[in-house]
Amino acid sequence: MNDTANPTVADVRLTPILVADPPLLNTQGVHQPYTPRLIVEVVTSDGTTGIGETYGDAKYLELAGPFAQRLKGRRVSDLNGLSTVAEELAVDRARISGQVDVGGLRGVQSADKLRLSVLSAFEVACLDALGKTLGLPVHALLGGKVRDTVEYSAYLFYKRADHPEGVPCEKDDWGAALDPAGIVEQARRFTQRYGFTSFKLKGGVFPPDEEIAAVRALAEAFPGHPLRLDPNGAWSVPTSLRVARELGDVLEYLEDPALGTAAMAEVAAATDVPLATNMCVTTFAEIPEAFAQGAVQVVLSDHHYWGGLRNTQQLAAICRTFGVGVSMHSNTHLGISLAAMTHVASTVPGLHHACDSHYPWQSEDVLTERLTFEGGRTTVSDAPGLGVTLDPEKLRTLHRRWLDDDGTLRDRDDAAAMRVADPDWVTPAVPRW
């Protein structure tokens, strides 16, 4: 095949950035005013640039540099070869021994998960470049879309009005949400602005009775709409079962009520409420035990830590085989990742649940045009590649913020962010309730 149809990687640009994030609460603490992301640009021998995005904390940047070096000269189409590149990367043991990711929000940290999270940005960038070269959208490279739009849910958070006084930040216009009325108001804004019809509440912040009351209030305000509650493993098995009993009539699923496969299996055995996870099944190796024990009924894939869009399709096929549902998890992310999620989601048959996305919380982006939600849905682009365009000026501005940071914000740490306003805060032991 000639070089024009099958170009090689001529150059790779890695740009760490800091992106504004509102004071969203979770069981670990609160979001920092700025969160790190990494933008990857793969430039091909035919002069095309493909873009990808992933986590930007130091442990990812450490691997992204050597990954980029090894990519040069390889065929952009050699997506299977990316795993070989990743396997060659040495992971500092200190990054993984006894570690959990973001205080546990994304499950156990492993060398493989770190490598895959880095790989995913390169895979997306290569797919974007290849699609542009061939004049095909990414979904076509993945075998073709089975739907024209992808549904997302409103991702509701308990939230403070502002970051602590005196801390540099970008103001947001969402206001505070610290009780059931505040959560319902936030949900109304989500529907007005984006048309979402299903709602997920990030729990594990307040004692379970307060969160049960918030979900009840949502059920009253939005009768019949799918509702989910996700305390990130903060509850004991008995507490999880009590919440399941009290909210069973209105929940679409309960997400990671208790920590780990064994506890989830105990909960699942004693309730009819389906359990979803992005914490106890986060790698292929965790699937056999969790599925054998019936611990989860829905796996929330995240193409970043599952290792890209094609691995997400493989995960979906495994879930389908075992009669387990699949949908998508999200962290703070920008439009490149939303575009990537939308392309892969469009190719997955039987996507029964609306996907999560933090995107509405991000007032900043590195794209020339923001992606939009209409009726809670994003349209799958048929333009070549991902169908989005990087804005170099916006990228430079967010990179400048990263350069100017003294290192405090370059690693996401929700507990440290909480201590700014509450110096006595320590990451709560689990189960918290």
Shortest Å, Cβ 383 to ligand GLR: 29
In one-letter notation, the amino acid at residue 81 is G
Shortest Å, Cβ 289 to Mg ion: 19
Cis peptide before 257 (omega within 30 of 0): no
Residue 70 binding target from ligand GLR, Mg ion, none, CB below 5 to 8 Å by type: none
Residues 265-284 that bind Mg ion (CB under 5 A): 278
Size of the site for ligand GLR (CB under 6 A): 11
Nearer to Mg ion, 160 or 358 (CB): 358
Distance CA 242, CA 240 (A): 5
Set 132, 139, 329, 343: catalytic member: 329
Distance CA 386, CA 380 (A): 9
Shortest Å, Cβ 27 to ligand GLR: 8
Nearer to ligand GLR, 329 or 410 (CB): 329
Element (H, E) at 320: helix 309-321
| Per CB under 6 A, 163 contacts ligand GLR | no
| Per CB under 6 A, 277 contacts ligand GLR | no
Shortest Å, Cβ 312 to Mg ion: 16
Residues 229-268 that bind Mg ion (CB under 5 A): 230, 255
Residue with tokens 């930040």: 169
Apex CA 315: angle with CA 91 and CA 330, to 5°? 70
258 beta partners? 234
Residues 104-133 that bind ligand GLR (CB under 6 A): 105-106
Distance CA 310, CA 57 (A): 24
Length of the chain: 433
| Per CB under 6 A, 198 contacts ligand GLR | no
Residues 181-240 that bind Mg ion (CB under 5 A): 230
Four-CA torsion 35, 41, 42, 47, nearest 10 degrees: 170
Q: Measuring CA to CA, how many Å separate 91 from each of 58, 60, 347? A: 12, 10, 33
Set 59, 113, 163, 202: catalytic member: 202
Pairing relation of β-strands 325-328 and 298-301? parallel
| Per CB under 5 A, 356 contacts Mg ion | no
| Per CB under 6 A, 240 contacts ligand GLR | no
Catalytic-residue membership of 202: yes
Four-CA torsion 391, 397, 400, 405, nearest 10 degrees: -120
Distance CA 206, CA 295 (A): 25
Determine which residue in the list 54, 133, 153, 232 makes contact with ligand GLR, applying CB under 6 A: 232
Determine which residue in the list 59, 145, 159, 202 makes contact with ligand GLR, applying CB under 6 A: 202
Radius of gyration of the chain (CA): 21
Shortest Å, Cβ 234 to Mg ion: 11
Shortest Å, Cβ 12 to ligand GLR: 27
Nearer to ligand GLR, 128 or 230 (CB): 230
| Per CB under 6 A, 186 contacts ligand GLR | no
Distance CA 204, CA 222 (A): 22
Residues 309-348 that bind ligand GLR (CB under 6 A): 329, 331-332
| Per CB under 6 A, 230 contacts ligand GLR | yes
Residues 276-335 that bind Mg ion (CB under 5 A): 278
CB 259 within 8 A of CB 431: yes
Shortest Å, Cβ 301 to ligand GLR: 12
| Per CB under 6 A, 153 contacts ligand GLR | no
29 beta partners? 26
Determine which residue in the list 278, 282, 313, 357 makes contact with ligand GLR, applying CB under 6 A: 278
Residues 345-404 that bind ligand GLR (CB under 6 A): none
298 beta partners? 276, 325
Catalytic-residue membership of 113: no
Q: Where are the alpha helices (DSSP H) in 280-382?
A: 287-292, 303-306, 309-321, 335-347
CB 91 within 8 A of CB 115: yes
Residues 371-400 that bind Mg ion (CB under 5 A): none
Characterise 352 by phi-psi region: left (phi > 0), alpha (psi -120 to 50), beta (else).
alpha
Q: How many CB atoms lie within 10 A of CB 323?
A: 8
| Per CB under 5 A, 414 contacts Mg ion | no
159, two tokens: 């939230």
| Per CB under 6 A, 26 contacts ligand GLR | yes
Residues engaged in binding ligand GLR (CB under 6 A): 24, 26, 105-106, 202, 230, 232, 278, 329, 331-332
Active site residues: 202, 329
Which residues would be at the binding site for Mg ion (CB under 5 A)? Answer: 230, 255, 278
